[in-house]
Structure 1
Amino acid sequence: MSTEPSRQLKKSAVGTSGIVFFVVAAAAPLGATLGAGPVVFAANGLGAPGMYLVASVVLLLFAIGYAAMSRHVTSAGGFTAYISLGLGNRTGQASAGVALFAYNCMLLGLVGQFGVFARDLVSHWGWDVSWQTLAVVALALVGILGYLEINLSAKVLGVLMLAEVLILLVFDAVVIVRGGADGLDGSAFVPGNVFSGAPGIALLFAFTCFLGFEATTIYGEEARDPRRTVPRATYVAVVLIGLFYTVTTWAIGLAHGSDVRTRASEDPVNFVTGVNTAFVGQFATDLMQVLVVTSVFAVLLAFHNTLTRYMFSLGRGGLLSVQLARTHHRFQSPHRASVVQSVITLIILAAFMAAGVDPFEQLFAWFVGLGTLAVLVLQAVVTVAVIAFFRRRGGGPLWQTLVAPLLGTLGLSVGIVLAIINFDVLIGISSGMAFLLPWLIPGAALLTLAAASVASLRGRTVDLAASATPAITTAPETAGACSTEEGNLNDRVKQPRC
């Protein structure tokens, strides 16, 4: 038996439902509803549910091309592998830096949010525990789960995600059955209401509620039958998330009635919990306060797993240390990447704690806002990469390989412009910091390109596309079509073996 360390993730470890649990948990349905929901209503009023529907359509267009490419490429590198194959290795290297930066920002910001929510929760039980202590405990648990096999994380996320979704679905059902405050109506979806008020801010915050669903592809190497599982999970995730937010915000609007915009502006903290108490009861609201903490914990675990798989893939591709591309002999998890990621997060968090940074108004607001913008940029670049990939190699329905990705690019570009214009609103500050922070995104790209150049000068090959594997035969599916060789993906795409 070989004593060489494994460089393979656990095969056939998760199915469609497991991947959906990971990415829906990352979207934090309960946390996003309580956090971003009031902002969307304050900006958009009655038309907020319609704006969530608009965001759903844009991201579904993105998902069409993304899923089409996932049938041809399987990689734990997600965005970076797709961009490398579509737009070239150097562009892929730049995107790797942006991806690591984006998801680390999300993780750091959400750790701050978790610390605040958990501190407030335990204080109601009479315990005085600092947010710093609770944040460190959460990161330790996340690191342990990330170290162990993926099935355990999927089960934990499945339970937590179902609980937070269920409590909001109960609220939705009660409000709809009782007819809300003023009766059922569809005014939330009338274009005049959807695009009223400040639709740009509303659309931007609606986009933030979907962050995480794009991570379906990073589990391709661990999925059962990735050719079918990953595209199916991508579609299921974006449709479920979109329907959930649309229906739930519609119910919230019905519960508040015609003055919903005023209520969202005047009391955002109790905007959702107040009507939940009125329609469902105090017990449901007390339970909601517990589940919002577990919701944020689920997001931490989901983004930690995303980062460890990026690090694993980048180690295999030569951009990071090859040691990160080793997997556990028993769990077949990227355990070294999990440990390194946990240490990095703890060190950065400790620095912010020492500096006295506010966990919510600064750590959460700044970093989640910055991460949101970076992910939108990556999504837009990926849609361009999908178009380039299929234009170069040919094949595939025009709707999936050109039209939908092009429309998705346009929609995401609007989101990026809105994020830049309204970045001060997104992060909650109006100082020069709002102008400076977005420049960290191209800075991360340039830093990664420099690191890749140094690695190449030292004789190390940095090829992020080569670490990907084909999900299916890339030759045309016709009678007598050739099978493909194992090895470098670029060779396999171009050189079928008969």
Structure 2
Amino acid sequence: MSTETSGQLKKSAVGTSGIVFFVVAAAAPLGATLGAGPVAFASNGVGAPGMYLVAGIVLLLFAVGYATMSRHITSAGGFTAYISAGLGDRVGHASAGIALLAYNCMLLGLFGQFGIFARDLLGRWGWHVSWQTLALAALVLVGMLGYLEVNLSAKVLGVLMIAEVLILVVFDAVVIGRGGADGLNVDAFTPGNVFAGTPGIALLFAFTCFVGFEATTIYGEEARDPHRTVPRATYVAVILIGVFYTLTTWAIGLAHGADAGTAATRDPVGFVTSVNTEFVGKFATDLMQVLVVTSVFAVLLAFHNTLNRYMFSLGRGGLLPARLGRTHHRFQSPHQASVVQSVLTLIVLVAFMAADADPFTQLYSWLVGLGTLAVLVLQAAVAVAVVVYFRRRGDGAPLWQTLVAPLLGALGLGAGIVLAVDNFDILTGITGGPASLLPWLIPVAGLLSLAAAAFASVRGRVVQLTAPAAPSPTATDPEVAASPTSA
């Protein structure tokens, strides 16, 4: 029996909740809170929660156009399909290379973070295992889950995501219920505090916490009723993530009181756990330290699945080898892409290990910083592509969804790109040397992708990354004019 089909992902495999599990898990609520939270507070003081709110608003504006586009284009190619449709094939080809770079950097960096967190956790229990062994074990498990049906991964991510969100919701409820250290207040959201200190750095780290929500469209081909499911999941994901981070950072600020910025600078590692122990208890903190490991594992699985679908789409579209665009006869999963992705990840990971790279200050910080910058570049390009796409169609689509909101989102994302470039040393911990040249890998990835497309064309292979347009929603479709809140 053949082990492959002609390249169709499993239809109607996931609904809104499944997609939300994938993308919220990729945002790593617990891991990001413990990692980015101290930096945001150290940079911005008590106004840090306000910057999470600003980032959430910018990305919600982006999501308006992004979700509207998803009703017209359904593709596992995500960013690349949308950019190709709006800005042309050449820009789309370049974006494919940048997308692969972005998510591979995120994935590889997070293996370093997982290895360190898991090693430290087991060390507390008297088990001494190297971070390399734990990272490789996680890679094997992630690869196996990525090979199987997508709804299995969704179930695993759902359990892990709910657990990590609940532990922080309990913290939020207890802190707010007890009035924090100095009583309830909204000082975190007053303009004087929001824009105090170095707000640019706080905003940049707030943006990093949202990376992953944009993957909703990648599951469009596997979604039930994608014209409704994908836009709904996009709005739910960005609103959920935005509200969660804003509320949680506000609670952290309340727990520390007026000296939150000083506390974050003095003890970034224990910044969150210390107040969790004070307000909720040591047992909750011990549980939190376990859940932060599962949180990072959930992110690994989410990004691996994202990359599988990108590679599948690019294989089907002619940019990568055709075998990557085939699916398993039983699971209808992009199994070839999953295997190749696992092997590539293994090779690069082993290279870092052989070079004796530090798993956190080098593998994690360098690559996640670069990946975040690349994702911001892609998001800004998609926002512009949405505007161009609908202007060319000229079908009377609502201006708010196809012009105003995407342009505002593009401006906000452009500011994020500038901040990321200007503060790349802070984002990554790089202070000089060859590693400071990492941002140049983004245009290099785009140029290499263009070269691959040209080579494929010379060999007579058609490179077409734009999925066939889905039938346009009719005027009577209630979701055509849906707002973020109604979706």
Q: Does 1:449 align with 2:450?
A: yes
Do the aligned partners of residues 302 and 264 (structure 1) sit closer, same or farther apart at CA in structure 2, a change above 3 Å counting?
Answer: same
* Residue 153 (structure 2) aligns with: 153
Change in Cα spacing, 1:476 to 1:281, as seen in structure 2 (3 Å) is: closer
In 2, Cα distance between equivalents of 1:368 and 1:203 = 16
Query: For residues 476 and 428 of structure 1, do their structure 2 counterparts lie closer, same or farther at Cα, with a shift above 3 Å needed?
Result: same
- Match in the other structure for 2:429: 428
TM (norm. structure 1) is 0.94
* 1:184 alignment partner AA: L
Deviation at 1:463, TM superposition (A): 1.1
CA positional deviation for 1:476: 6.0
- Cα deviation, 1:92-138, whole Å, max 9, x if unaligned, reads 00000000000000000000000000000001111110000000000
Give the corresponding residue for 2:484: none
CA 1:362–1:435 in structure 2 vs 1: closer, same or farther (change >3 Å)?
A: closer
* Aligned residue number for residue 129 of structure 1: 129
Are 1:351 and 2:358 an aligned pair? no
Q: How does 1:52-131 map to 2 (within 5 A)?
A: 52-131=52-131
Partner of 1:237: 237
Per-residue CA deviations over 1:208-262 (Å, capped at 9, x if unaligned) read 0000000000000000000000000000000000000000000000000010000
CA distance in 1 between partners of 2:103 and 2:448 (Å): 16
Matches of 2:431 and 2:476, distance apart in 1: 59
Quote the residue 1:363 is aligned against.
363
2:19 maps to a residue whose letter is I
Amino acid at match of 2:415: V
- 2:319 and 2:453 in contact (8 A); partners too: yes
The whole-number CA distance in structure 2 between the counterparts of 1:478 and 1:404 is 23
Matching residue of 2:318: 318
Tell me, in whole angstroms, the C-alpha distance in 2 between the residues paired with 1:475 and 1:141.
40
Partner of 2:384: 384
- Give TM-score, length-normalised by structure 2: 0.96
Counterpart secondary structure, 2:10: coil
Once residues 408 and 137 of structure 1 are traced to their aligned partners in structure 2, the CA distance between those partners, rounded to angstroms, is 39
Contact 2:4 2:326 in 1 (8 A): no
Gap change, CA 1:194 and 1:433, over 3 Å in 2: farther
CA distance in 1, matches of 2:368, 2:228: 32
C-alpha distance in structure 1 between counterparts of 2:468 and 2:224, whole Å = 14
Q: Partners in 1 of 2:474 and 2:27 — Cα distance?
A: 36
Aligned residues: 476
Q: Distance in 2 between matches of 1:69 and 1:332?
A: 26
* Contact 2:361–2:429 (8 Å) recurs in 1: yes
Residue 24 (structure 1) aligned with residue 9 (structure 2): no
Identity value in percent = 79
Counterpart of 1:309, as a letter, is R
Match of 1:400 in 2: 401
Alpha carbons 2:18, 2:154 under 8 Å: kept = yes
Secondary structure at 1:74's aligned position in 2? coil
Deviation at 1:451, TM superposition (A): 1.1
| Distance in 2 (alpha carbons) for counterparts of 1:475 and 1:68 | 10
- Once residues 157 and 470 of structure 1 are traced to their aligned partners in structure 2, the CA distance between those partners, rounded to angstroms, is 30
The answer to whether the Cα contact below 8 Å between 1:182 and 1:254 also exists between their aligned partners in 2 is yes
Match of 2:441 in 1: 440
**Offset of 1:469 from its aligned partner?**
3.5
Q: CA deviation at 1:151?
A: 0.7
Q: Give the whole-Å Cα distance in 2 for the aligned partners of 1:366 and 1:270.
A: 23
Contact 1:67/1:231 (8 A) holds in 2: yes
Unpaired runs of at least 5, structure 2: 478-487
Q: What's the CA shift string for 1:28-63, capped at 9, x where partnerless?
A: 000000000000000001111111000000000000
Question: In the alignment, is the contact (CA less than 8 A) between 2:4 and 2:329 conserved in 1?
Answer: no
Alignment partner of 1:36: what SS? helix
Return the alpha-carbon distance in structure 1 between the equivalents of residues 403 and 434 of structure 2.
Answer: 38
Aligned residue in 2 for 1:261: 261
1:308-352: CA deviation from partner (whole Å, max 9, x where unpaired):
000000000000011011111111000010000000000110011
Which structure 1 residue ranges, 5 or more long, are not aligned?
Answer: 480-498
Counterpart position of 1:199? 199
Shift of 1:455: 1.0
Report if aligned partners of 1:423, 1:434 keep a CA contact under 8 Å in 2: no
What residue in structure 1 maps to residue 51 of structure 2? 51
Q: CA deviation at 1:68?
A: 0.4
Aligned counterpart, 1:12: 12
Q: Give the superposition deviation at 1:2.
A: 9.2
What is the distance in 2 between the residues matched to 1:62 and 1:425?
Answer: 26
- Deviation of 1:381 after TM superposition, in Å, equals 0.3
Rounded to whole Å, the distance in 1 between the matches of 2:47 and 2:385 is 33
Q: Is the 8 A contact 1:10 1:333 kept in 2?
A: yes
> What is the Cα deviation at residue 432 of structure 1?
3.5
Q: C-alpha separation between the residues in 2 aligned to 1:164 and 1:3?
A: 37
**Distance change (3 Å), C-alpha of 1:478 and 1:188:** closer
Q: CA deviation at 1:478?
A: 7.8
Contact 1:424 1:434 in 2 (8 A): no
Deviation at 1:184, TM superposition (A): 0.2
* 1:410 shift after superposition: 0.3
Between the aligned partners of 2:452 and 2:149, the Cα distance in structure 1 is 31
Match of 1:490 in 2: none
AA aligned opposite 2:209: C
- How far is the alpha carbon of 1:366 from its aligned partner? 0.1
